[in-house]
Structure 1
Amino acid sequence: MRVLIAGAGLGGLCLAQGLHHAGFAVTVLERRSASGEQPATYGIHLNADGMSALRDCLPEKPWQRLLDSSALAPDKIRFHDQDLRPLAVRDNEAHGDTGPDLRRRAVSRDALREALLTGLPDGTVLWNKQVNGYTETTEGIRVHCADGSTHSGDLLVAADGSNSRLRGMRLPGLERQDLGIVNVSGRVTLTEPLLAQLPAALTDGSVNNVVPSGPGWLFMSTWDAPASGRYLVWAWAESRDTYPADPTAMGRAALRDHVAQRTARWAPGLHRLVTSTGTDTIAAIPLRTMPALEPWQPSAVTLLGDAIHNMTPMAGIGANTALRDADELRRALVAGGPLTDRVATYEGAMRGYANEALALSTRNARSAATTGRLPRAAFRTVLRAAEAVPAVKRRIFPAPPPRH
């Protein structure tokens, strides 16, 4: 089988590795150059789903490169109030049901990309190939690129990101929704004076959330970068209509000053995190999401990753879900049978877990941006109850499914 993959992102390359290792003929068409600018990111936390997909798709050499270029990270989600008093901790490590290969890891996007390219034969990835569309023929799929070239295959996988033009052809009318929420993100180097003002739980690599009594929500996580030292990434979530102006039109300094004003009466260390952030790292990110995915008829064109289930970053699982897609599609294709049956198997499974992820990330985003004091107070009360009563904690923080 000849498989064409539009997009050399994480999901597309993971699929290419898995299919090549299984003996498929794979061609990846990527619009950027090999050394071109990659999507902006501070790093990725690989959870059990992502690690399981990578372990199953990657041969030994790229798998080892991934392990060598990443670091173990605590699999904990902490909630604090604005004075850094603990509200609750979701400790996924306490369940002890994740295999040793699947523990949560932190990796830079560039390092993960290099691991995913390791060992692929020359010519597998064709750079500077902007896919403009495709034609279904009696012999399969013919893909048309902006440079005038065409490429033929039996299956086309659209892995071309959240603004996928192939999605518009395959599933016209399926579009992302704007949630009316804008995140302001920033990155700050963790200097010794700054570290002295923060509890260790905020800088150990786990996920931290500050849930204030008033509007807004602050997300934080730390990263180690060999070239630039240790830094903390934060993201402030707030409803678009509560900013002083359109946040996407505000300057970087104005965005930082707005978050600084919102956190002025918080714990001094949190406020200083914001005021110490260089404006060159500040960005406004409107939150958009795909709606729940309804069934469609399978064909010789399918989709994975952000091209089909782009979600908000508020659950931290977008990249991991794309990697899971790659493994799920690989498994379906290797299983054999008529092509559309294999595609249907993948798409049915993908819609199930993707809709759960979409719902979770959207729910988290809306909870973070709520301006209602009553629901915010109720949520903080539930978190405190969960930390105090094990039965409540098991209910709101159920154990993750085992993966080995």
Structure 2
Amino acid sequence: MQQEKIPTIIIVGAGLGGLSLYHALIKNKDKKEFNVKIFERESCPTDRWQGYHIGLSNYGAQSLLNCIPSSIALNLPKAMPNSIPDIEIHGITITDQIGNVLLTPPTKPFKDVYELAKISRGLSSMITYRDRLRDVLLEDVPVQWNKKCIKYVEIQGGVWVFFEDGSQEYCNILVGADGINSPIRKQKLPELQIFDYGITHVGADVSVPKLLMDKINKIHGNILACKTLGTKGDSTFMMTRLIPIKQEQNDEKNEPHYRATLVYSYPSEFDNIDVESDKVKVDDNDPASVIEHVKRLIRTLRPDCELTDLLLELWDLAPKTIPNDPIKFPFKTYNPVQRRMMRDIDPMSIKSWTSSRVVLLGDAAHAMSPILGLGANNAIQDADKLSQALLKYTDNTISFIGEYEKEMLKRTSADVLRSRTVTFKISMPVGPFGVFIRDNILKFMNVMINIYSFADNLIFKN
């Protein structure tokens, strides 16, 4: 009797989604065995900056734990330290331009990622270090680095994958997990369009001294994700963990510091306000000039108040060069502070998908605004759903891919459009009357959400 040949799956992209899928397929090999290969265009794990803090939701946590083996799960506290009771509140607060709290949705306390994953109603999240989560997921994964996919050719029963270095690989199923600029998506679905918001955002990881963090917490409380709304279409966002990080050995004050993510968003038209001045040059290859640009916008668009002063202090902590000394600086890698355009992949730009042996996952399929923190969670959910669908694989049918795509598109299209709607709503310039209306709507929503949560807890006690 001839032994059945083990099918090959190639994953292009070693981000959170691609790595989660790799682990899930290996974890389920007793149910269905695959020869799994994973390729990444970066030259090494530290070749590119790996992102800010993210909020891992209860649904994302459920899918992550479904995907990874227990040996990897044991290392998750490196990326998502257990919650600190009475110190950290894993939620979000929204304030107006001077720091008055407008909206603080209630959150359910949880002690670790396992307890988070058990929350079945509502939406809770745990602030997670994205770069460290990727490091954890990279453990024991034989990624083939410096392999940029440039095209593929489908043949009967399989796919040939071609790389920039001239090499090629054959597989039965090709998974494109290679981000918003995915060459695989562009070939598979050239009609699928990228939607430009006309909004610029600038992000930075910073090290915040305790004295400054204490001032910020007086305004926001100990809530780990804080958003402030301006009146000119601008907004700021800060996400942190209240866990001290190691500082330089020559820090004279020996003051505790905290790792934080800053994001400043504003209408892209403001990128032109400095162009007329010969004294002002904003160069995205010069982080110092971008930071000064952000500070000028904050001073111009925000009122004189304590919150504005704190924001300027925070942005002054952003690295003004590209540091690469792992001992002197508290993070392994830095992203040069650059202006970036806010974009998503428009699910309405195509009527239907044609299922084939080429399948998409994560940002390659449904990049979305980061405003609601749904991107990484959806990528991990994709990996979970696709790994389960692949258990149905046979040489004679790929109908399971259509089933995966149908579920994925329904789930993620709604999130893409919802994130876009919220982004536009908070990015509209408003006058004094508009501010009054906006703030009171958010305050009313805050009351209603808290009433609903209270009633829900009475009815559905966990």
Q: Does 1:265 align with 2:303?
A: yes
Cα distance, 1:76–1:245 mapped onto 2, change above 3 Å = same
Distance between the aligned counterparts of 1:87 and 1:178, measured in 2? 28
Structure-to-structure mapping, 1:2-401, within 5 angstroms: 2-23=8-29, 24-72=34-82, 74-93=89-108, 100-102=115-117, 104-120=125-141, 124-200=142-218, 202=220, 204=222, 206-223=224-241, 224=243, 226-228=245-247, 229-243=257-271, 244-245=273-274, 251-262=289-300, 264-275=302-313, 276-278=316-318, 280=320, 282-292=337-347, 294-336=351-393, 339-373=397-431, 375-389=434-448, 394=452
Structure 2 spans left out of the alignment, 5+ residues:
1-6, 84-88, 118-123, 248-256, 276-280, 321-335
Q: Which 10-residue stretch deviates more, 101-110 or 305-314?
A: 101-110
Describe the superposition over 1:108-148 as per-residue Cα deviations: whole angstroms up to 9, x where unpaired: 2332122212233xxx4211211111111123111111222
**TM-score normalized with structure 2 length:** 0.77
Distance between the aligned counterparts of 1:266 and 1:189, measured in 2? 24
Distance between the aligned counterparts of 1:248 and 1:288, measured in 2? 21
Q: CA deviation at 1:171?
A: 0.5
Q: Which amino acid aligns with 2:245?
A: P
Distance between the aligned counterparts of 1:63 and 1:118, measured in 2? 11
User: Kindly, what percent of the aligned residue pairs are identical?
Assistant: 24
Q: Which 10-residue stretch deviates more, 354-363 or 343-352?
A: 354-363
**TM-score normalized with structure 1 length:** 0.87
Q: Which 10-residue stretch deviates more, 82-91 or 224-233?
A: 224-233
Task: Choose between structure 1 and 2: higher helix proportion.
Answer: 1
Describe the superposition over 1:182-203 as per-residue Cα deviations: whole angstroms up to 9, x where unpaired: 1133444322331342235637
Q: SS of 2:398's equivalent?
A: helix
Cα distance, 1:116–1:255 mapped onto 2, change above 3 Å = same
- RMSD (Å), alpha carbons: 3.0
Distance between the aligned counterparts of 1:227 and 1:346, measured in 2? 44
Cα distance, 1:188–1:274 mapped onto 2, change above 3 Å = farther
Distance between the aligned counterparts of 2:45 and 2:204, measured in 1? 25
Q: Which amino acid aligns with 2:13?
A: G
Distance between the aligned counterparts of 1:390 and 1:95, measured in 2? 20
> Does the CA-based 8 Å contact 1:256-1:282 persist in structure 2?
no
Q: CA deviation at 1:358?
A: 0.5
Structure 1 spans left out of the alignment, 5+ residues:
none
Cα distance, 1:168–1:16 mapped onto 2, change above 3 Å = same
Q: Which amino acid aligns with 2:318?
A: G
Q: Which amino acid aligns with 1:379?
A: R
